[in-house]
Amino acid sequence: MADDDLSDAPPSRERVPSLARRRRWRVVRLLAIVVILACACLAAALVWQFYVTAPWTRDGRVRVQVASVAPQVSGQITELRVSDNQTVAKGDVLYVIDPVDFDIAIATAQAELENREADLQVKRTQAARREALTTLSTSVEEKQQYAGTAKIAEAALASAKAQLHQARVNRGRTEVRSPVNGRVTNLLLRAGDYAAAGTVNVAVIDTDSFWIDGYFEETKLAHIHVGDAAKAELLGYSALIDGRVESITLGISNANASPSTQGLPNVDPVYTWVRLAQRVPVRIRIERVPDGVTLVAGMNATVSVGEPGAHGGTFWKTLRDRFTGPSASSGQERVSGAAAR
């Protein structure tokens, strides 16, 4: 009877708070687990958005146009007026070719011109004299011969004038000038070297032509459009370069497109399960270079496209619409965009 009375007795006051405390801790643990899972999902979404779909890349390069200067006439270099890494303006003389032979050519052409002028004067006088005679003193055929001789002399004079003009042009070409504003680079030329016509011997970096190529993965191209604002950070500088997307390359090399036997395509039979995203060059026009930043072709750059945070807002909007459906604001934006177009 005593045992039955003890088992039927209500719980003591000490056990009631203990059970309530356990329930509260259980709820707290469940809430903590839910919060941790939510944070993990949020972090995974942010990492996916930042590393996979956000339009940025660390694979960027500074590019520039290089003017390859070659003389238009041949000769020995008598004067070198620039040094390596010297800044030059468009039209500045880089070096001078020995002009002696070209001065002689001008003198020869001038003498030939004077000779042809005197010959033309004589031929015209003879033709005019024959033309004034009647057919009793000369024949029609002889008149035609003298008139034709005068025409030939006129043509010879025109040729002599052209040769003199060409000689003077070649004389001016002995001063080889820079075609662009820029800086001489890798100069290996020296006075006394022989310059051959058409052979490049000076390279000038066009300082007005710098741009940046960003090699973006194909998974990020959907968020890149011509005209988008862009930022670039060089590896050696912390200041950001302002730019704008100028163009997107429409083709890259395909190894499977190279011809093989009988001109047939050479297709690699090995197909990997892991597909790496192709990288597509995007050209960034530079609009502002911060003070103290020196652009050098070949420098590494980290390139991001779009205003800061704009892509993140689009990402969350797309994620929200995927679960809740397109919002009214999205519909209004589509209508206004269609009306604008």
pLDDT of residue 334: 43
Tens of pLDDT, residue by residue over 275-308, are: 888 899 999 999 999 999 999 999 999 999 986 5
| Residue 187 CA to its chain's centroid (Å) | 24
Tens of pLDDT, residue by residue over 153-201, are: 888 899 999 999 999 999 999 999 999 999 999 999 999 999 999 999 9
pLDDT of residue 11: 53
Question: What mean pLDDT value characterizes the chain?
Answer: 82
pLDDT of residue 166: 95
Q: What is the DSSP letter of 307?
A: S
pLDDT of residue 41: 83
Task: Please name which of 278, 291, 293 lies closest in space to residue 212, comparing C-alpha atoms.
Answer: 293
pLDDT of residue 13: 54
pLDDT of residue 49: 62
Q: Which CATH superfamily is domain 53-65+207-251+275-325 in?
A: Efflux pump adaptor protein, beta barrel domain (2.40.30.170)
pLDDT of 311 over the 90 cut: no
CA angle 214, 219, 225 (to 5 degrees): 55
pLDDT of 329 over the 50 cut: no
Domain boundaries, the chain: 53-65+207-251+275-325, 99-173
What is the rounded distance in angstroms from the CA atom of residue 68 to the CA atom of residue 71? 10
Model-level pTM? Answer: 0.70
Pick 146 or 100 by higher pLDDT. Answer: 100
Pick 29 or 202 by higher pLDDT. Answer: 202
Q: 318 in the Ramachandran plot: left (φ > 0), alpha (ψ -120 to 50) or beta? A: alpha
- Find which of 13-22, 142-151, 174-183, 264-273 is predicted with most confidence, using mean pLDDT: 174-183
Residues making up the chain, counted from first to last = 341
Sign of the four-CA dihedral 7, 10, 13, 19: positive
Tens of pLDDT, residue by residue over 24-36, are: 788 788 888 888 8
Give first-to-last CA distance, the chain, whole Å. Answer: 93
What is the rounded distance in angstroms from the CA atom of residue 341 to the CA atom of residue 336? 9
Percent of the residues in the chain that have a pLDDT greater than 70, as a whole number: 79
Pick 75 or 318 by higher pLDDT. Answer: 75
CATH class in words for 99-173 = mainly alpha
